[in-house]
Amino acid sequence: MVFSSIEFIFIFLPIFFLVYYFLPFKFKNIWLFIASLVFYSYGVLDNPLYILFIANINIAQLLFRHRNKQKRAKPPRLAGRGLGL
């Protein structure tokens, strides 16, 4: 999906802003994340590597949260870097 396309301007953008406006503050970042994945996946759904991309994002997010909860954070940090490569 291109930013200047009809689908983006008249379908995606109004839906995005309506949902974003009515969500409570603590869910707005989650909505931004989900909407960005939908936006970027619109053109690449036929590519199976996109599933790996989403999995990599989710695993890195979980490892980051796990790292912030512990004082000694070397193994999750190294695992997250290895996944990113």
Which tens digit of pLDDT belongs to each residue from 7-27? 889 999 999 999 999 999 999
Are 19 and 31 spatial neighbours (Cβ–Cβ below 8 Å)?
A: yes
User: For 30-77, what is each residue's pLDDT tens digit?
Assistant: 899 888 878 877 767 667 777 777 778 778 877 777 766 666 555 555
Task: Give every CB contact of residue 37 below 8 A, 6+ residues apart in sequence.
Answer: 54, 57
For residue 40, the Cα-to-chain-centroid distance in whole angstroms is 9
Rounded CA gap, 9 and 3, in Å? Answer: 7
Q: Count Cβ atoms below 10 Å from residue 76 Cβ, excluding itself.
A: 19
Q: Which two tokens mark 81?
A: 């870097």
pLDDT tier at 4 (50, 70, 90 boundaries)? confident
